[in-house]
Chains A and B, each alone.
Chain A
Amino acid sequence: MASGEQDVSEVALKGASAPMAVAASRAAVLRRLRLTDAIFHGLTRGASLAVLALLSGVIIALIYGAAPALSTFGFGFLFDESWNPVTERFGALAPIFGTLVTSFIAMLIAVPVGLMVAFFLTELCPKMLRRPIGIAIELLAGIPSIIYGIWGLFVFAPFMQEHVQPLFINTFANVPVLSTLFAGPPYGIGMFTAGLILAIMVLPFVTSISRDVFDAVPPVLKEAAYGVGCTTWEVFRYVVLPFTRVGVIGGFMLGLGRALGETMAVTFVIGNAHHISASLFAPGTTISASIANEFTEAVGDLYTSSLVALGLILFFITFCVLAIARYLLLRLQQQGGK
């Protein structure tokens, strides 16, 4: 009887403890789930903070590395043309000048050509060819810059030296301004060649962003313009371009950022000469080319530090250009969203 009672109580106990045990284990499981969720949340947040830390780290490391040069030369560093490792006198003017000139040449060519290619891809191209040509342009963007460099050095520069540069020099010999711009012996390498190679490199960026931006134009707008009898060109010039102006400029700035910071393609063909010449055919240097050419061979703290300071200037310039580009593209996105 006693045993029977015990049985009953045991059963009762079991009956009562079973839900409790389930509840307890469920709570444990929930706690574990909440914990893993919190850990995962923390991990992802940490990783995105790491991205922030990365950029701050780049800035701090560059400022730290550039400090000796900047404290020695002060602001004069920006406006000094001399670059003399023997007397340890360094100035950034020639590389800054070269960077700006080569990027300017590149944009001068890449912008109109890129816009026209995007015009072709969005308005004129037969449907069947649109995708392959678009992909081909993007592949051009994916080719590593060292390939452009080696091609520029062995194929493009000799071609420029033998054919293009003599032609320019002879044609413009008696034209006032142009005779200064296109003067001197045709070396093949130099600012002009570097600018042209940059143009080829930047072209795909300008094209693919312009195309994406043009594709975002609502078809009704274009159809309305076609409906009142506009030609294809008029639709593009007076409807598509004004509508996408902000985004297109954002795309240009992105391309410009690429051109300013491009290293290898330029290093091969720029000639690495630290002086400023009025002639575009003269060898020059850019910020990135100076660093790539001289950094490992730089002797002495001041020399190394001056090169890091050049890097800091380059980072500052591209940061501003890219920030403007992103801001403009963001504005277009919000405008498109509304």
Chain B
Amino acid sequence: MTLPVRRFDAIVVGAGGSGMRAALELARADLKVAVLSKVFPTRSHTVAAQGGIAAPLANSTEDNWHWHMYDTVKGSDYLGDQDAIEYMCRRANEVVVELEHMGMPFDRLESGKIYQRPFGGHTQNYGSAKMAMRACAAADRTGHAMLHTLYQQNVRANTQFFVEWMALDLVRDPQDGAVLGVTALEMETGEVSILQAKATIFATGGAGRIFFASTNAFINTGDGLGMVARAGLPLEDMEFYQFHPTGVYGAGVLITEGVRGEGGFLVNKDGERFMERYAPNAKDLASRDVVSRAMTTEIKEGRGCGPHKDHVLLKLNHLKPEDIMHRLPGIREISIKFANADPIRDPIPVVPTVHYQMGGIPTKYTGHVVVPEGNNMESIVPGFYAVGECACVSVHGANRLGTNSLLDLVVFGKAAGESLIKDLKSMPSPHRNLPRDAGEISRARLARLEGSSAGERVSDVLLDLRRTMQAHCGVFRFPEDLIEGVQKMKSIADRAGRTFIADKSKVFNTARVEALELDNLVEAALATIVSAEARKESRGAQARADFPERNDKDWMKHTLWYKDGNRLAYKPVHLKPMTVESFEPKVRTY
């Protein structure tokens, strides 16, 4: 069976913040571009971001990109690539001002400038006790405001969206590994085709759904990661998953760090503001990994709240009601709906909840995907780019600072668009020939589901996967748990290949979509737990009970995981920035 082929100059897979920022850049060049998305663009998970987007605009406190860079390097626990971090911080003001010009409804100061609030790990003067107000906010709906603005600009630019199209697999040239496009499923009709392009940008988001308790949307199934892994390319630093300190207890829904930026704080069962003990300077605004570990320790040591002593409380009822209603209206709505607590009166029950994937498809700051090739650890894969949460560029290293995620989306979305336009100029004008077996992987995956007449339910395998990752790869990681978790995940991976769906309809078959997503979740979960088991140190979001210290001598390096045999390789961290002096690793305290 040959699949129909549609040809474009470029395709963007994913229409969240980074995909739409890239698409916007491409729309300004005279290119034929297709943007694919599993969901209507404004339903992408960027919409759920709350607290802000980082930029050292210095509207309320003194600030500059050097300080922002220092905080980001320190926040990354020195695993971030300092060239990419410098690049991001230097372009922050430019891209945020652009968003404002596009019409993004930022909150305002009396001066008329963009409102900025403090956030975890944002400091003045290279880590001093004085916090920087760097998080540019649209109330507590910054992601929503940004995503809608980017969609609106793409409407204006006549971007061609393929809505509710799910990309299935990469198509590569067997000669040099160049990416020639993707296979994709049109959900409404069930038709599969090859979208061929000279350049492909992945902006497919994270895989936070591999954990049981996650702030992530249902759609965050790591589709780009699965596609990359099946195509034989590595995934970088997948052991680093951020646990956000404040997910609503029981529901997992996110409560922004902006709550603590506006003056809220955490208390244990004794009403003690315990963060004072763990981070005497920054207190509740320490880095997320630090706060999540502190909360978990409080709970483990019996100081948790509630009948099961299994959560802590986020208190903001000392703030003025009008400030809560004005600056944190979305939080109030979520809290009332999902925690039965009106934060004006009642504290919100919270637990650390999986939130963000620091690792992903290895890239450099230009957006190019880079993989080891002979002696070159970072050889460019022709025609392939990745941006946003699916990419590991790596600006977040072992732990991301709050509000750097939205910044990452627009800086590198724009950068990848710029690179692609430049690269296309030097490419020959006709498309390359597709390999004879193009689309074969996808065809086989679909045929298996089509032909399945018995087997396990997709939802049962998925539940086991999420429970396994939660139990074996949590805030604190134990050697026996990790070893056992790897074995369990391998057997879950086998089971995922034997699932069964009863629904064989062509039309909007969501059972088929969920089965295909499971394949991607399996790759992301395996990459995560295998990489975590192998890394014998504690750094950022990886906290190992048996190796409680950071070990720069042996582990100041990026992990690369390959699907084939669960093989691991390592590559050096870029310690040298683009123009400034390196920030040397130090003990990390807040």
Is B one of A's binding partners?
Answer: no
Name A's B-contacting residues (CB within 8 A): none
